[in-house]
Amino acid sequence: MLKLVISDNKMHYYYYIPKLHVMMSMLRKLFRYFIPSFIGTYLLWYLLNPIWFNQFCIICFLSIISWTMAYYFYEMLNQETINPSGKIVLVTGCDTGFGNQIAYRLDQLGFHVYAGVLFPDGDGAQQLRQKCSKRLKILKLDVTKQEEVDNVVEQIKQSGKPLWALVNNAGIAISVPFDWGNDIDVYRKVFDVNIFGVVRATKSCMPLLRQSKGRIINVASICGRLTTTWTGHYCMAKHCVRVFSDIIRRETINSGVKVVTLEPAFFATNLTNVERLQRLREKIFDETHEEIQRVYGKNYLKYFTDTDPMIALMSHKSIDLVIDAMINGIILCHPKLYYRCGNYIDLFMFWAISHMPEILLDYLLDMAENIKNGIENCEQKQKKIKFIFFHVVVLIIKIMSMIRKLFRYFIPSFIGTYLLWYLLNPVWFNHFCIICFLSVIAWTMAYYFYEMLNQETIDPSGKIVLVTGCDTGFGNRTAYRLDQLGFHVYAGVLFPDGDGAKQLQQKCSKRLKILKMDVTKPEEVKNVVEQIKQSGKPLWALVNNAGVGVSVPFDWGNDVDIHQKVFDVNVFGLIRVTKYCMPLLRQSNGRIVNLASLAGRVRVGSLSSYCMAKHSVRVLSDCIRAELIGTGIKVVTLEPSFYKTEIINFDLMDQKRRKIYDETPEDIRESYGENYLEYLRQRNSLVQSVTKTRIDDVVDSIIDGIIREYPKLYYRCCSYQELFTMWGTSHLPEILLDYVMTKNADSLLRKTKAGPYHHK
């Protein structure tokens, strides 16, 4: 097993040898598949000579340039603001950082600021009292406690003033490997504040915000667009904040409430305080199980200490960029949907990382870790990289600035740019567009050729596969199929005497074991892992299949119970089982197969808890895979579309929805109306029409991920139409996507007289 020891040069030598092998393997595949495919595709294009395609590429490129320039001019002209007089803004997390500064700035503008703090007698609260007017109120507010949130909301009601904006700023960050800590305590701590705290505060404030047609400002992060090693907890949480923002924006689009999302890069706040991170990391390491401590060793803490200065170096000292964006979101009549706060270098780097293929990103992340291990002065290296990026970006900005000054609005910009291209006739640009497109085609063809030839499989004899959620659906079918292949299957079920367990016992060999396993209960998970250890056989694969789904608007139900129930199974259960199985998987160099969903790529109204959970699963898979590079363990992620399983049993969903609606506070029920249940029922009938019955499509992919010597990183189990829809919804501008996704919903709401139309 590979270990990272920073001070040991000999270990570095052995660490680089596999990477040389990987590089040679990649080059061999490149020459074997990609280059012949590219040459063949280019020759085909050359012989056909499709002039229309040249024009199409050029027009698309010019449209992008024109749209960008028009957007900048629109932003310059969009300066109309609201009157702050008599309006309340509630800000969470005002002890330090963004929250403290935004509370002060809003008070200066004339708002009545309700500043939520953890420590009303702390330094941050005292500073606000000294600097601000009497309009500002310091309130004890821990967003993890419903009674404190209710108390603040009650005070706002009693003031008689409208709540104009809620700023969900409170958050915490932890930077440790995914399997450190006791059970799932680290994850739960991060999620309680960063996700459930946001949901709780938003739900409690929604009736007041609907009355004022105000604003919700959610502070996400640039980490909500990518995944990095050691920050899986934080990346998952910030992905969820972004998903939550998109969903509630679409659900409230007819209510007049605007939802704004901020995505700051790294800024010098308490979250990025290196000393705090180090203390917290040492505490978590001490709480980690001894078996996992031995895998990493004490030197791993020193490795963190050596790399932490890079975080400080990347962090911007001034937080004014973020505060200005928050204020724009609150005071502008027509704010942006997203404010991405960082310099052009940050934005370019994060954009590039978030759009790279997973396999390339994994390789680059691993290479970056090797570079950091071998560099004595990482700070100097980082400065050089930033220096190069800075000059490249400055050059691009200057060019864009010169072009932008030529035109005023979109249509003149497009016409002018097109005429300029037509007069200059840049042949090199035509070829550049064509080569880019052909490269994509050639890469796709090469990938398919590689996949056809990559048929090596492992020997299943004597190997254990643990599958969770085997009562019904994918889990039940996978357990049966794996038993037929010769694996020793440990099938985790909720009901050992249920129909699903009995069917497996009747159909399968004696190799298959039915085990009681509720993934939300640590003692049951430990019991299963202990039985695997006692068997003496290697655990080859873990299939994290157990999951639940609920389809209701985000503010239905009591407190955040619905979101917590979904996360307890779909996210925390998956993390718990993976953590307990990791020592055994490290011994066997085995597999982790996580079932996410296409809902982990899109954001759909009334599915906030499920979409957030499946985004988290996808991000967790990427983080684990990046952290385990070099250990031999492979992490595979499945993304099925709609299949007929127990999760989308529509009769059961209707019963759950009715129960949740009855538990919802009366003022929230009043804003939706009884007919909203009928609207959701009719919407489900549309989903039912596209639901597939052949679950073996998904089971085949699960088995492929287990038995293939070199499985894919992702298996997307859906039709080409669904893939195209998913890709489109992932890449469309948010404002256009909001329109497309809410247009049909609005007509159905009118038809059923639900939501904003139930009084009419």
Q: Which residues are catalytic?
A: 234
In 460-604, at which residue ranges do the beta strands (DSSP E only) sit? 464-467, 488-493, 513-516, 539-544, 591-595
Q: How far apart are CA 253 and CA 560, in angstroms?
A: 22
In contact, 342 and 262? CB cutoff 8 Å? no
- How many residues comprise the chain? 760
Q: How far apart are CA 316 and CA 263, in angstroms?
A: 14
Indicate the burial class of 20 (C-beta count within 10 angstroms; 0-12, 13-18, 19 or more): exposed
> How many degrees, rounded to 5, is the angle at CA 313 between CA 308 and CA 319?
115
Q: How far apart are CA 471 and CA 527, in angstroms?
A: 18
Question: Half-sphere exposure (CA, 13 Å, Cβ side) for 730?
Answer: 15
Q: What one-character-per-residue DSSP string does 399-426 give?
A: HHHHHHTT-SSHHHHHHHHHHHHHHH--
In contact, 63 and 414? CB cutoff 8 Å? yes
Nearest to 750 by CA among 655, 684, 690, 682: 682
Does residue 163 sit in helix, strand or coil? Answer: strand
Residue 498 is given by DSSP the state S
Q: Decide the pairing of beta strands 591-595 and 539-544.
A: parallel
Residues 6 or more apart whose CB falls under 8 angstroms from that of 546 comprise 468, 469, 475, 492, 519, 569, 570, 573, 574
Indicate the burial class of 594 (C-beta count within 10 angstroms; 0-12, 13-18, 19 or more): buried
